[in-house]
Every structure is written in C-alpha cells, then in structure tokens.
Structure 1
Amino acid sequence: MAQHKIKLSNGLEMSYLDEGSATAEQAPVVLLHGYCGSSAYWEKFIPMISEDYRVIAPDLRGHGNSSAPQGAYSMEIMAEDIRLLLEELELNKVHLLGHSLGGYITLAFAETHSDSLKSFGLIHSTGYPDTPEGKAGRGKAISTIREQGLEVFMDGLAPKLFAPSHRQSGLDAVDTVKNIGLGTEPHAAAAAAEGMRDRPDRTAVIADTNLRVLLVAGGEDGVIPPEKTFSSTGNHITQARLESAGHMSMLETPRQLAAVVKEFLRTV
C-alpha cells in the first residue's frame, strides 16, 4: 500500500494510507490506530473494506511516518490533527473508527466536530477515563520509556495486546507490533501516554449522540475488557463482541472485524 504525506496547516506532516473509492454519496472510512501503532495495523483489514469504500488510515502525530513535534499530545490536539487532515483532503463527512488510543481521539473529535461525521466507532476502546490504577500504569510506562527506552517498553507491551491463544500461534504478529511500535518517537510515546492518562470521561458522547455508533470488543481483551467498551446501550448503538480476539482484532481476526464493520456501515 502506498503511503501519502501531507502538511497540515498546524505544521504537522501527516503520513496516511488512502485506498479504494466510493460513490459521491458514500462517506469515506477513516481508521485511527492505537498507541505506539501506525497505519500498518490496518494493512490486513483495509483490503476487505476498500472493495466498497474509500479508506483513509493516517499515522497519528509522533507515530509511524508522521512528524513528531515536541509538546503535549492530548486527545483534543490529536483530534484537531484529524480535523485538519479532513480539511486538506476536502472531506465533509466521514465514518470515523478508532482503535484503542484512536478511539479516545475519535470521541474527542465526535464531541466537538460531530457535524463532520456520518458515524463513529470504538474498536477495543472505551469512553471511560483511566482509573487510579490505570493512571499509575501510564506513569510506569512513561518512566520505562524515558529511563529504559522504547524497545524495553514494547517488549513488555506487545504480547499483552493479543489473546492468550494468539500469543504463540501469532508470534509473527507480535513481532510485527513490536517493530511498528519502535517507529514511534520516544518523546511522542511518553507524551501520548500522558494524554491518555489525563483524558476525561466521554461516555456521554456515546450515549447522547444523534449519530450511529459501533462498539467492538474482544472477548479475550486483557487491556480493555468488553464491559469497558460497552458503556452504553441504545437504538443508535451497535455492539459487537469478537469472542476469540484480544486487543488486536485487525490482526488476530481481521475477517470477523471486517464483517462487523461492513454490516454496520450498510445500516448507517
């Protein structure tokens, strides 16, 4: 898949994948990857969606091939990056789906720019803020990155992202995630962890929106369990539980995830 690069009006150079095509009335699908990830997370998944939709998958600031400015990486700042990307690409309405960190950014975007959305969704993510234990874990991650380096941090993180049954059978995928993670700038990884630690409760964004919402959880997700993803119910919310997936269904069970996403998009 060819990478594109564009300079946003805030000075950020953002790299992104842009695959498939759509009719004029079809909104494109924008995919936001997780923490210490990149658009490469979606490379198995995108071909399954781009048969029917234009799919855009950016590298978030500090991740992948996008530039890594110094300073804060709050969810609001990263959501503004996405707004500026859509502006540069002249996209009025999109379906915005975010994995993990990408889901937190999706909610920050939906809170202030819902008029730019056709629908939105969380994939292994949550509207809840970090618990006190979660905040302590972010602090430990920041310390590990700053004191021991990103490689040590990724060696600890990558296996935890997969369901136990996939850790051995999917060793190549675990290594792939480690290598993608090493493409993150260390100061950006620390800044994004701070941003996740400090994010507010956005469960009301899911519950109160007039848009259709997709919530996808992994039955074996050891990072964000299904009950944290399924924070709300309602006629506008579609919940999908992928029983054998951990935190990385786009790599563990991509066909199942694609079937869920395509069915959701057909109903919007």
Structure 2
Amino acid sequence: MSTQFIHVDGGRVAFESEGRGLPVVCLPGMGDLRSSYRYLTPLLRAADYQVICCDLRGHGDSDAQFAEYGDEPTASDLIALLETLETPAVVIGNSMSAGASVIAAARRPELFQALVLIGPFVRNPNDIGFIKQTLFRVALARPWARVVWNAYLPSLYAGEKPKDFAEHKKKISASMKRPGYTRSFSLTTRTNHDLAEQLLPEIKLPTLIVMGEQDPDFPTPEHEAQWIADTLGGRVAMIADAGHNPQSQQPDATAHAILDFLKEEPARA
C-alpha cells in the first residue's frame, strides 16, 4: 500500500487504502501510528471491506506544522477524508480518536454507517484532578515528551503485547524524533474531551464499544465502556488479555467482535 494524502487547512494528513467494499476508516490514538491497525486490517480485508488507515496530524506521515491539534481538528480531518468516499463509512476510532469520531459523527452523520470506539476517550477522566493533569502535561512537554512517552507506552499494552511491540515502539520514537513532531505530539496531549461528551446524546448511529479488560487508562474499564454504550444505545465487547490497544494485542478477538457487529447493525442505520 502506498501513502496518500488529503489536503486540509494547515497541511496534509496521510492515509493508506486497501481493498474494495464498504469502507472502514481506522484512526489511531494519540502518540501512535496508523500501523497500530496492522493486524486488524487483513482480517477486515478478508471479510471484503475496504480498509483506510490514517495518521493523525503531527503523527507518522502526516505533516507537523499545524497550528491546532486534538479532538476537534482530528474530527475536521476525518470529515474531509469521509467526503472523498463514494459511500458512508464505518469509522473506528481508538483512544483520543474516539472522541474525534463522535464529534465528526454529530456534525456530519450522513457520512457514517456505524461507529466502533476502541478504548474510547469521549469524556475527560473524572479521577484525574487538576494537579495530576498539570503534572501529566508537564511530563509530556517539550523537549522530553518523546522520552517520557517512550517509557510510558508499554503500560498501555497491559495484557499480551504484540509480537512486534519492540519494533513498533521504535517506529513511534523514530517518528517523533523528526523536526516538529515532538512539538506536535506535545500539543496533541492538551486536547479536551468536553465537546465529545456534550455531543454524545446527538449520536444515533449503530455503535460498538471495544474495551480491553486491562485498559490502564480507566479505573474500571467495563464500567466506562458500559456508560458509553448506555449513552449511545450501543453494545459492548470486552477483550480479554488486552489493554488500551486490543486491535493489535488481540486482533482476532477484536475483529470477531467488529465483524459480528457489522453483520447486524449497519442494516439499521
């Protein structure tokens, strides 16, 4: 697959597309690359879906000179990509990208067939106080953001790690080493999920919440997943032996949950 780009205000956003069929657009989490879907993509392709994997702005092959980062700019980039497709798409958003996907779906529901939210941040964590939040942002400020993130990343993969985790981790670190990319990542960490939470009641799309049973970003992952599902009228798939990235930690179980969902729900959209 070759890297392609969409041009948005301020720069280019990179993506790659494989196959034909109903499009499935996959967005990674903050601080990750589109290759976080490297194991899930072939499983979706085998089920005759077109799979489109994107890099966030300031990440991977996307440009890093943007003035704004976070939920709302990512939602804008997603809408720009969806507008180029010939049919509404299924959108898979991981972590921060789940919040961005909610914003985009509320603004342009006609571009969506269904939503899959993996380890989703669609509201600000209630258990993180002002002091903790400030310390987190200081820790991920330049120039040491790359080093801190490189040390923190393994904790997000609680449970079984992908067999190539060390290599993937090196790719993320190498990507951030390029001029401007550590700054972009640091700015992305300042995102706020208030708008996503406000827009949740407006979402009328079929929605699946996929959550790793050991996701360290939530005190009780199952409770967070169920709260989101209840708010959206969706369903939950808990993935055993996985943390914040079940799409690469347990791709078979994750694909099974997504494909079962897509067999039933989009017909109701």
Coarse TM-score class (shorter-chain normalised): 0.7 to 0.9
TM-score (norm 2): 0.86
Aligned letter for 1:246?
G
**Structure 2 unaligned spans of 5+:** none
Runs of 4 or more above 4 Å deviation: 134-138, 203-208
Aligned letter for 2:16?
L
SS in 2 for 1:133: coil
SS in 1 for 2:214: coil
Q: Is the 8 A contact 1:96 1:120 kept in 2?
A: yes
Inter-partner Cα distance in structure 2 for 1:90 and 1:147:
37
Q: CA deviation at 1:72?
A: 2.1
- Residues 214-257 of structure 1 show CA distances to partners (whole Å, capped at 9, x for unaligned) of 10111111113232232132794121001211111112101100
Q: Is the 8 A contact 1:96 1:119 kept in 2?
A: yes
SS in 1 for 2:81: helix
- Residues 69-90 of structure 1 show CA distances to partners (whole Å, capped at 9, x for unaligned) of 2422131111111111222x33
Aligned to 1:229: 225
C-alpha change, 1:256 and 1:129, in structure 2 (3 Å) is same
Q: CA deviation at 1:210?
A: 2.1
Aligned to 1:149: 144
Identity of aligned residues (%): 21
Aligned to 1:220: 214
Inter-partner Cα distance in structure 1 for 2:77 and 2:182:
19
Q: CA deviation at 1:159?
A: 1.2
Question: Is 2:2 the partner of 1:3?
Answer: yes
SS in 1 for 2:76: helix
Indicate which of 185, 190, 195 corresponds to 2:186.
190
- Residues 73-123 of structure 1 show CA distances to partners (whole Å, capped at 9, x for unaligned) of 131111111111222x33441111100011111111112111211111210
**Structure 1 unaligned spans of 5+:** none
Aligned-residue CA RMSD (Å): 2.4
Inter-partner Cα distance in structure 1 for 2:31 and 2:142:
17
Inter-partner Cα distance in structure 1 for 2:136 and 2:119:
19
Inter-partner Cα distance in structure 1 for 2:231 and 2:10:
40
Indicate which of 87, 95, 98 corresponds to 1:103.
98
Aligned to 1:250: 247
C-alpha change, 1:211 and 1:178, in structure 2 (3 Å) is same
Inter-partner Cα distance in structure 1 for 2:246 and 2:130:
25
Inter-partner Cα distance in structure 2 for 1:141 and 1:174:
24
Shifted more, 30-39 versus 68-77: the winner is 68-77
C-alpha change, 1:72 and 1:235, in structure 2 (3 Å) is closer
Alignment of 1:36-51 (within 5 A): 36-51=31-46
Indicate which of 113, 117, 123 corresponds to 1:122.
117
Aligned to 1:140: 135
Q: CA deviation at 1:179?
A: 2.9
Question: Is 2:258 the partner of 1:266?
Answer: no
Question: Is 2:169 the partner of 1:177?
Answer: yes
Q: Is the 8 A contact 2:18 2:52 kept in 1?
A: yes
Inter-partner Cα distance in structure 2 for 1:215 and 1:251:
16
C-alpha change, 1:134 and 1:259, in structure 2 (3 Å) is farther
